[in-house]
Amino acid sequence: MNYIVFKNENALYYECGYSCDNALFLKLGKESFFITDGRYELDAKESIKDSKVLITNSLLDELAKILKKSKIKKITIDPIHWDIESFNKLKEQVPTKIKFLANFSHKKRIIKSSNEIKKLKKAVSIGKKSFKDIARAISNLEGSSELDLNFLAESILRDYGSCDISFEPILAFAENAAKPHAMPTKKELKIGDLVLLDAGVKYKRYCSDRTRTAYFNGDLEFNIKQKFASKKIQKAYDTVLKAHDVAIKKAKSGMKAKQIDKLARDVIEKAGFGKYFVHSTGHGVGLDIHEMPYISSKSDTIIEDGMVYTIEPGIYIEGEFGIRIEDMVVMQNGKAKVL
């Protein structure tokens, strides 16, 4: 397949081991080209071994020259990564037929290599340690605000500058945790609060993603087993944990993604919390924090060995609390293995 990767940094990196914010990658048969501007010339030439690095003031003009010279009849692009102005310029400049294939980089990356799985496992390991460090730091910080503790959590995740984060962490207390993507507020932490932390770090650009929900009694531990003062919260927590465990234990290669989603959803619905599970059960993780496969009720993707994705069921009751438990798994030998 002849194709262009335009400006998306993770897709660029996957192709040639380097990326920057103004570049495109062109694949023509056995030939490949990385086109960028002079700001990135030295880094690109040092990092890229198997593609020709071209320096220009106009990515699309240089692309057009190569395509006209090659005389190929068809080129594939991912329309999701192209703005209208750039696409129109491409159409005007080249006679080549343009074929759309949405998410083709994600589709290429859906099965992870053993090397990628090692990097993801390392990212998960670093993230797990960060959760322990965050719990230790938050313990005895009663009265601190979500804003303050989010800043503290991010600092720990970044290891004070030595690590990149997968996304802005979500750290929410009590009723604010009922928002799956809660924004931090001035709400202060108090004894008896539920604390939800969703966060991840990167290792060599590969992401981790983890969520734990815990009870704050002056101390805090993000263990998967939790005891809450409220019977309702405890029932909801135990239900989410069961959904999490069932979906991981019963997931098999060859199943459709929506069947794995149903494994978790059925547990929550049977316990009477069905309407409070408001998102899909999981998503793929790799260079991007969200990529294929999507473990949703609408996905017919066949799950295969080598796929890495999250299992993250949740229950969110407005004005009361929110609970989510999330782990990343890799499909190996037909089964889901927690990373």
CATH code for position 89: 3.40.350.10
The reported pLDDT for the residue numbered 24 is: 97
And the tokens for 161?
Answer: 């500058």
And the tokens for 197?
Answer: 């932390």
pLDDT band at 160 (very low <50, low <70, confident <90, very high): low
Query: What does the radius of gyration of the chain's CA atoms come to, in whole angstroms?
Result: 23
Return the percentage of the chain with pLDDT > 70, whole number: 99
**Shared domain check, 102 and 118:** no
Question: With the CA atoms of 172, 225, 250 and 253 taken in that order, what torsion angle do they form, in degrees rounded to the nearest 10?
Answer: 60
The answer to whether residues 329 and 257 touch, using CB atoms and an 8 Å cutoff, is no
The answer to whether residues 318 and 201 touch, using CB atoms and an 8 Å cutoff, is no
C-alpha 296: how far from chain center:
15
Average pLDDT of span 164-179? 97
Query: Which pLDDT tens digit goes with each residue over 92-148?
Result: 998 899 999 999 999 999 999 999 999 999 999 999 999 999 999 999 899 999 999
CA distance 179 to 213: 13
Query: Which pLDDT tens digit goes with each residue over 229-277?
Result: 999 999 999 999 999 999 999 999 999 999 999 999 999 999 999 999 9
pLDDT exceeds 70 at position 161: no
Amino acid (1-letter code) at residue 257: A
Q: Which among 49, 78, 108 is the end of a domain?
A: 108
Q: Which among 108, 132, 153 is the end of a domain?
A: 108
**Shared domain check, 120 and 165:** yes
**Shared domain check, 316 and 285:** yes
CA distance 216 to 238: 17
Q: What is the pTM of this model?
A: 0.94
Q: Which residues pair with 55 in a beta bridge?
A: 36
Q: For residue 133, give every residue at least 6 positions away whose Cβ sits within 8 Å of its Cβ, in sequence order, or none.
A: 156
Q: In angstroms, how far is the first alpha carbon of the chain from the final one?
A: 33
Average pLDDT of span 27-56? 97
Residue spans of alpha helices (H) in 17-97: 41-47, 59-70, 84-93
pLDDT band at 20 (very low <50, low <70, confident <90, very high): very high
Range of the domain at 22: 3-108
Query: Which pLDDT tens digit goes with each residue over 183-231?
Result: 999 999 999 999 999 999 999 999 999 999 999 999 999 999 999 999 9
- State the helix-helix crossing angle for 231-250 and 257-270, rounded to 10 degrees: 150
The reported pLDDT for the residue numbered 71 is: 87
Q: What is the mean pLDDT of the chain?
A: 96
Local structure of 330: helix, strand or coil: strand
- Nearest of 196, 284, 208, 209 to residue 240 by alpha carbon: 196
Domain count, the chain: 2
